[in-house]
């Protein structure tokens, strides 16, 4: 395995950081590697907000499902799908472009995520830990007011970064599914009940014979899929999508 | 610059490949590195279709804006946002979960893109060229029939890969925007007309005094944003989103 592959295998999410700042040179190395990412038509349909103001960090920690570690992370970046910038560039040329639609949004969303993942890979190569915060999709109205978003700029990813604690470095990486759970040939193969059960058991039980699939799944579903934050995320995402659907 | 950062800088899209297959061991190394990517709640809300059947590749080349290089690429992978698999796993536990909403879709979309970008980085480290095909978002009805998609599985990325030709290796990487064009501090800073003009001129003109911003932008807008494929992509994306908005 080459060193880059080894780093992709090693990298795990880090949520606890040393109380040690990340200097501007290091931040810029990561941002510049992110900007080298591929993008649709080389249009770079994203923007990055580098959140430095402690009051904004505190507010984001609250708005992202009340997670205090967000406020104390040395680096906090929001990657936006930006369907506004090129619209402005077209208008500057005297053009009257159509309003962005849902396809434009999804393409911009992809650009933002691809750049964000380059940032994650770059950060890991420099010894920095990182974590995606999906909760940035919640509370559209307050997040948009806080970050000065408009109808055509939508958060696609939030990343926190910092120097990992010793404990975080030693924490085992949670196991990923087997290749066969995710890959199918030529067509999507919909997994059925028993197969899904077997793959979760294999991954979560550590081969313990006593693993209670139904109980584990009920608790997981309540904590994640049927949670208040998931409902809020769906409400908020619908609000972000609405201007693109008109 | 460490070797991983150097690879992120080097990597550019490759659309022309040697007539040389990519063996299964290499494919698996890339897929396995993709699966090591972070995902929301470690749920891996995506699926990968490994398209091997030439007839399916031919059809995808047609459906993705008639681009023949797609059909001849040695590797063709579709990364789906998969809101179906966990639904099935919940149901297998006897639960009656709600239908997925737009927030669930966007989170799964993010998972799919983050994994796809790991695949791109892994492939480059092994000497393989790759290219994203955003056009997979078009022609929802025919793509869904071809790939056996259902209401809760949505294409987030298509990747072609193969061994780059000498010519592709030598082709200069198209310049990326300056950091200041994409990054703002604490809040999204909406770029205004003259600033947008200056950044496009800086990037596209190679400092040629004669660069015609208005003409360049008019041609670009017609070829991309106001194209038939962009309109089709918006129509098709709306159709993909509809089941999540109910």
Instruction: List the CATH number of the domain containing A32.
Output: 3.40.109.10
Residue A219 lies in a domain: no
Contact B27, B50 (CB under 8 A): yes
The reply to whether A45 touches chain B by the CB within 8 Å rule is no
- Do B81 and B122 sit in the same domain of this protein? yes
- How is residue A47 written in tokens? 């923007």
CA pair distance A31, A25, nearest whole angstrom = 10
> Same domain for B140 and B183?
no
Indicate if the pLDDT at residue A205 is higher than 90.
no
Count CB-CB contacts under 10 A for residue B48: 24
Say if residue B41 is in the same domain as residue B146.
Answer: yes
Residue A118, domain member (yes or no): yes
Of the three residues A154, A172, A190, the one that is the final residue of a domain is: A172
- Give the ranges where chain A is alpha helix by DSSP (H): 3-10, 24-35, 54-63, 68-72, 85-92, 102-125, 140-147, 166-170, 179-182, 193-204, 213-223, 228-241
Chain B residue numbers touching A184 (CB-CB < 8 A): 47-50
CA distances B191 to A47, A88, A106, Å, are 11, 8, 21
Q: Are residues A54 and A153 in the same domain?
A: yes
Which regions of chain B does DSSP assign to beta strands (E)? Answer: 46-50, 75-82, 129-132, 153-162, 183-185
- Domain annotation covers residue B101: yes
Are A103 and A144 contained in the same domain? yes
- From residue B136, how far is each of B65, B102, B119, B200, B245 by CA, in Å? 9, 19, 17, 28, 21
A186 and A162 in a single domain? The answer is no
> A5 and B85 in contact by Cβ < 8 A?
no
B139 has pLDDT over 70: yes
Q: Residue A53's pLDDT is what?
A: 98
Residue A109 lies in a domain: yes
Tell me how many domains chain A contains: 2
Say yes or no: A191 and A126 in one domain. no
In this complex, is the C-beta atom of B66 within 8 Å of any C-beta atom belonging to chain A?
Answer: no
The closest CB to that of A114, out of B56, B88, B113, belongs to: B113
How far apart CA A188 and CA A96 sit, in angstroms, is: 40
Closest C-alpha among A160, A202, A116 to residue A16: A160
Pairing, β A46-50 against β A75-82: antiparallel
Q: What average pLDDT score do residues A178-205 get? A: 94
Q: What value does the mean pLDDT take over residues A202-218?
A: 85
Cβ-based contacts under 8 A for chains A and B: 350
Give the one of B11, B93, B181 whose C-beta lies nearest to A218's C-beta: B93
Whether the complex's predicted ipTM surpasses the cut of 0.90: yes
Among A172, A189, A219, the domain-final residue is A172
Q: What is the mean pLDDT of residues B193-222?
A: 89
What are the structure tokens assigned to A75, written together? 């680096």
Q: Is residue B228 part of a domain?
A: no
| Residues B173-188: b if buried by 16+ CB within 10 A, e if exposed | eeebbeeebbbbebbb
What's the pLDDT score for residue B203?
Answer: 87
Helix B3-10 vs helix A3-10: crossing angle, to nearest 10:
100
B147 and B25 housed in the same domain: yes
pLDDT at residue A185 greater than cutoff 70 = yes
What distance separates the 2 farthest-apart alpha carbons in chain B?
68
pLDDT band, residue A245 (cuts 50/70/90): very high
Which domain does A198 fall in, by range?
A: 179-211
3-state secondary structure (DSSP) of residue A183: strand
Q: Is residue B204 part of a domain?
A: yes
The nearest CA of chain A is from the CA of B117 a distance in Å of 6
Based on the fold, state whether residues B187 and B83 are members of the same structural domain. no
Q: Residue A5: which pLDDT band, with cuts at 50, 70 and 90?
A: very high
């Amino acid at each position: 395995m080459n060193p880059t592959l080894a780093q992709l295998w090693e990298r795990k999410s880090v949520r606890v950081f040393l109380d040690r700042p990340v200097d501007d040179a290091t931040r810029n190395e990561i941002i510049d590697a992110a900007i080298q990412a591929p993008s649709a038509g080389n249009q770079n349909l994203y923007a990055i907000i580098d959140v430095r103001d402690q009051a904004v960090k505190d507010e984001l920690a609250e708005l992202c499902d009340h997670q205090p570690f967000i406020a104390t992370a040395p680096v906090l970046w929001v990657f936006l799908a930006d369907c506004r910038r090129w619209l402005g560039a077209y208008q500057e040329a005297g053009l009257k472009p159509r309003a962005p639609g849902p396809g434009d949004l999804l393409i911009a969303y992809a650009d933002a995520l691809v750049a964000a993942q380059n940032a994650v890979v770059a950060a890991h190569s420099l010894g920095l830990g990182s974590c995606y915060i999906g909760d940035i999709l919640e509370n559209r109205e307050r997040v948009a007011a806080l970050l000065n978003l408009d109808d055509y700029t939508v958060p696609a990813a939030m990343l926190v970064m910092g120097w990992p604690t010793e404990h975080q470095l030693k924490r085992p990486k949670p196991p990923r599914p087997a290749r066969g759970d995710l890959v199918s040939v030529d067509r999507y193969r919909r997994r059925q009940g028993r197969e899904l059960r077997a793959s979760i058991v294999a991954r979560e039980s550590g081969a313990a014979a006593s693993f209670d699939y139904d109980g584990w799944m009920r608790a997981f579903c309540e904590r994640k899929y049927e949670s208040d934050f998931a409902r809020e995320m769906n409400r908020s995402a619908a609000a972000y999508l609405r201007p693109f659907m008109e």
